[in-house]
Structure formats: C-alpha cells, structure tokens
C-alpha cells in the first residue's frame, strides 16, 4: 500500500495573538459607547450645559476630530487583519507536524493596538476639552 504523508500544518496563532485580536475588536467597538458616556457626563456639568445652551465651546477644529477618528479606524482595521508571521522555510522543513511551535503575534498588530488605544483616548480627551471650553 502506498503511504501518503501530508505536509505539516502551519502552526496556529498563539493564545496571546488571539487575545490581542479580541482586545482590538472590543476596544474598537467600545468607542461609540465611550463617546456617548463622555458627552452625557460633560453635559451633566455646569460648563458643559453652558457650552450647549449659551454659547462658545472649546476651540478644537473639526478636522482634528476627523483625523483622530481616521487614525483610530485604520489602526483598528490593521490590528484585526494583520496576518500572523510565518515560520521561516528552514523552520518549516525541520519541524514535524506534532512539534511545530506556535508563532507569537505580529509586532505590527501590537503597534496597531497601541495606536488604536491612544487615538481613542485622545478623541475622548478632545471631547472633554470641547465641552469644558
């Protein structure tokens, strides 16, 4: 009988990579409720109410808001779609299917996640500055 040997399967993502992707997903989805919460909390203050009822709020230009949201959006997509690093060809040839080591998350995904968190925090800070104006 002719035996057919399958090539070793590439290692799957580590639990660290899976957790990072999940955190990026929930961090991106949490921006809308966080924005709503900040607006409600700022409208509950005297300065926030006066800003809306009487007049001049903070002087943060609109393009700054849009740029911050664009950076957060690009970082969110990047953190969710960055592929896992592949082992080198030498590692793939020397590893058997059973002892193939999983790869750590891509450094680009970590950087994108940190950028996402920073952009979202900065956007929320801009909202506070606008209503505290």
- The more confidently predicted of residues 35 and 104 is 35
Tens digits of residue pLDDT in 5-61: 777 766 666 778 888 899 999 999 999 999 999 999 999 999 889 988 988 888 888
Give the domain range for residue 72: 15-83+104-132
Q: How many domains does the chain have?
A: 1
| Rounded distance between C-alpha atoms, residue 89 and residue 104, angstroms | 17
Position 89 in a domain: no
Position 62 in a domain: yes
| Rounded distance between C-alpha atoms, residue 20 and residue 12, angstroms | 14
- The more confidently predicted of residues 88 and 55 is 55
- Among 6, 9, 1, CA closest to 99: 9
Position 99 in a domain: no
Position 91 in a domain: no
Determine the angle formed by the axes of helices 15-29 and 62-81, rounding to 10 degrees: 150
- Among 98, 81, 78, CA closest to 11: 98
Position 6 in a domain: no
**What share of residues in the chain are helix, strand, coil (percent, to 5)?**
65, 0, 30
The torsion angles phi and psi of 128, rounded to 5 degrees, stand at -65, -45
Q: What is the reported pTM?
A: 0.76
Position 108 in a domain: yes
């Amino acid at each position: 009988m002719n035996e057919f040997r399958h090539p070793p399967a590439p290692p799957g993502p580590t639990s660290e990579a899976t957790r990072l992707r999940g955190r990026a997903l929930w961090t991106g989805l949490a921006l809308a409720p966080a924005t709503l919460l900040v607006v409600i909390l700022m409208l509950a203050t005297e300065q926030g109410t006066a800003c809306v009822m009487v007049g001049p709020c903070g002087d943060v230009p609109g393009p700054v808001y849009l740029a911050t949201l664009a950076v957060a959006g690009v970082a969110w997509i990047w953190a969710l779609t960055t592929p896992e690093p592949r082992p080198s060809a030498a590692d793939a040839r020397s590893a058997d299917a059973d002892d193939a080591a999983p790869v750590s998350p891509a450094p680009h995904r970590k950087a994108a996640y940190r950028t996402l968190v920073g952009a979202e925090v900065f956007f929320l800070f801009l909202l506070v500055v606008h209503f505290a104006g």
